[in-house]
Structure 1
């Protein structure tokens, strides 16, 4: 899938999970980016329960679904609640896959930017 914003875009590879399937059914979608430290998140209009494999501490570039906020969460570094150099999400999130390429490109996303998520060939 491709995630686009005014200053750039990234593609992501998703795993075959119930949450990823629910997100796929909602695409394409448009939303408004929010930032929280070095994390971008945005509402995707999907409501799913927290999966048993949900995690709060993840690797930069993880594509996660924040079930508590019905939002896609894209961490690329430290958040306000990180301990040390970890990527700590607000609460445990469903893991969907990973960003292809350098997740630090997300640093160009500004709070309030329009975001589009869609499938791409390849």
Structure 2
């Protein structure tokens, strides 16, 4: 089972395709959520009401546009380029994160998110 979520903020929106994992199941159960965007280098992250354990496939270095869940901060992490701890052009997250899926569009759209923006995540109903 895969499903789509929509992530929106004042300057834009994007969708992501999410795979079925223990973390994504918990997240989908909490949707819709509204949170406050934070930026860290070329990454957008925000708090969620979900708290889960690290999964076996968790990774710290991911591709741009990966939808990741940072278990240490109960936050969704959406990298689109280097962070302050990246080596070169890689997307290096703050720590190992559970992988949920990927953005459907160019991840650079996330550059329009400003620190402090309201951000909403909801299921896309077909």
**TM-score per shorter chain, which class?**
over 0.9
Task: Specify the alignment match of 1:8 in structure 2.
Answer: 12
Unaligned runs of 5+ residues in structure 1 are none
1:96 to 100, 104, 109: 100
In the superposition, the TM-score normalised over structure 1's length comes to 0.99
Q: Secondary structure at the match of 1:16?
A: coil
In the superposition, the TM-score normalised over structure 2's length comes to 0.96
Aligned pairs, number: 122
Task: Specify the alignment match of 2:123 in structure 1.
Answer: 119
Q: Deviation string for 1:20-52 (max 9, x for gaps)?
A: 000000000100000000000000110001111
1:1-122 map, 5 Å: 1-122=5-126
Alignment partners' CA distance in 2, 1:58 and 1:66: 13
- Compute the RMSD of aligned alpha carbons: 0.5
Unaligned runs of 5+ residues in structure 2 are none
Q: Deviation string for 1:53-104 (max 9, x for gaps)?
A: 1000000000000000000000000000000110000000000000001000
- Stretches (4+) displaced over 2 A: none
